[in-house]
Amino acid sequence: MYLYGMQKKRTFQKPVIVISRCIEHDPVRYNGDMISSTEVAAMKPYVTFIPVCPEVEIGLGIPRSSIRIVRTKAGDRLIQPTTNEDLTDRMNTFTEGFISSLPSVDGFILKNKSPTSGISNVNIYPSVGKSAAIEKGPGFFGGRILETFTDYPIEDEGRIRNHRIREHFLTRIFMLADLRNVESVGTMAELARFHSENKLLLMAYSQSRLRELGGIVANSDRKRPDAVLKEYRRALLTATRLPPRYTSHINVLHHSFGYISENLNPDEKAFFIDRIEAYREGRLPLSAVRMILQSWLLTYTSDYLKNQTWFAPYPDGLVILPTEELERGRNMY
């Protein structure tokens, strides 16, 4: 799975991501535009995208008059004000059919604030005429995705520009892509391999969740592998729903350091502890401290550490440095 020089370098399964077609794919927005996204463009060599534009799929043209969510006594409706056409039923029918026909996917990147694809902050209006929004919520398509794919990595092209959110999203989609491969093999041995290689990464998310997942892998009730895999997936999605706290990464740094510290001299040990404190205080990013450990692993082999995904949760080609090169560690990770 890995090959870090003398150590291992990780090979990655390709995540399968549903994406709004107007983001870095085709000019299908209501005004005929396409949205440029540096972050999505960088993902293309590493990710299999499934592009979708719900509005085009239900027969609306390019360009087209805008649509909006209107609150009525009968509930929220999807209306095109210029024609007064109610598109709600067509959109719901398409959405259910699309979801039911999807292969196994690892995440979603949807158009922000769209009345169809938005996952939050979509304006809801009291009428089809000119009026101020009375509430905000998800779009018709995006809302159904959120309901169906509970705890999955689901973001929009606006939020994914944030370094911390993008890091969390990428970490999860590559983890889930690997799990999908485990599920295709379908053996307890392959699940044990996956869990072992992700221990440090899961420790960064939650030590209690790591123990829970370990208990599922132990399978003391002797459940069938397919049942264990389903239980593990559900627990993994819950465990990784929120990004790790910077203090959890510090715990992982100390934990990892313990496996090679006996090989280091006092000055090297003091240097590394100082670097951890620099990360804690926001003077150094996590990647810089982690790289020190990786450099030592080239000399001091650790069978436990060498395969850990925490050192390379996603491909190096997807590393986009934050605008401020040194943000506070707690804000970056």
**Mean pLDDT over residues 137-142, rounded?**
98
Same-domain pairing of 176 and 116: no
Write out the E strands in the chain.
Answer: 16-20, 48-52, 68-72, 75-80, 85-86, 107-110, 122-125, 135-137, 154-156
Amino acid 328: pLDDT: 43
Same-domain pairing of 240 and 284: yes
| pLDDT beyond 60 at 333 | no
b/e map of 88-101 (b: 16 or more CB within 10 Å)?
Answer: bebbeebbeebeee
Same-domain pairing of 157 and 258: no
Give domain status of residue 77, yes or no.
Answer: no
Give domain status of residue 31, yes or no.
Answer: yes
Which of 65, 90, 94 is CA-nearest to residue 77?
90
The confidence band for 7, taking pLDDT boundaries of 50, 70 and 90, is: very low
Pairing status of strand 154-156 against strand 107-110: parallel
Backbone angles phi, psi at 136, to 5 degrees: -130, 150
- Mean of pLDDT over the chain: 92
Same-domain pairing of 105 and 195: no
**Mean pLDDT over residues 210-230, rounded?**
96
- For 84-129, the pLDDT digits (tens) are 999 999 999 999 999 999 999 999 999 999 999 999 999 999 999 8
| pLDDT beyond 50 at 15 | yes
Amino acid 324: pLDDT: 46
Give domain status of residue 200, yes or no.
Answer: yes
| pLDDT beyond 50 at 329 | no
Same-domain pairing of 324 and 190: yes
Same-domain pairing of 146 and 217: no
| pLDDT beyond 60 at 330 | no
The confidence band for 3, taking pLDDT boundaries of 50, 70 and 90, is: very low
**Number of domains forming the structure of the chain:** 2
The confidence band for 276, taking pLDDT boundaries of 50, 70 and 90, is: very high
Same-domain pairing of 148 and 173: no
**Mean pLDDT over residues 244-265, rounded?**
94
The confidence band for 318, taking pLDDT boundaries of 50, 70 and 90, is: very high
Same-domain pairing of 328 and 278: yes
Same-domain pairing of 110 and 169: no
Please state which of the ranges 107-111, 128-132, 176-180, 234-238 shows the lowest mean pLDDT: 128-132
Give domain status of residue 78, yes or no.
Answer: no
Q: What is the pTM of this model?
A: 0.91
**Mean pLDDT over residues 309-319, rounded?**
93
**pLDDT higher at 10 or 235:** 235
Give domain status of residue 135, yes or no.
Answer: no
Amino acid 320: pLDDT: 74
| pLDDT beyond 80 at 327 | no
Amino acid 262: pLDDT: 92
Give domain status of residue 176, yes or no.
Answer: yes
- Nearest-10 Cα torsion for 206, 207, 210, 214: -170
Amino acid 270: pLDDT: 97
Same-domain pairing of 179 and 328: yes
Same-domain pairing of 168 and 309: yes
Residues 333, 165: Cα–Cα separation, whole Å: 9
Give domain status of residue 194, yes or no.
Answer: yes
Amino acid 8: pLDDT: 56
Give domain status of residue 275, yes or no.
Answer: yes
Residue range of the domain that includes 226: 162-333
Same-domain pairing of 155 and 269: no
Amino acid 322: pLDDT: 58
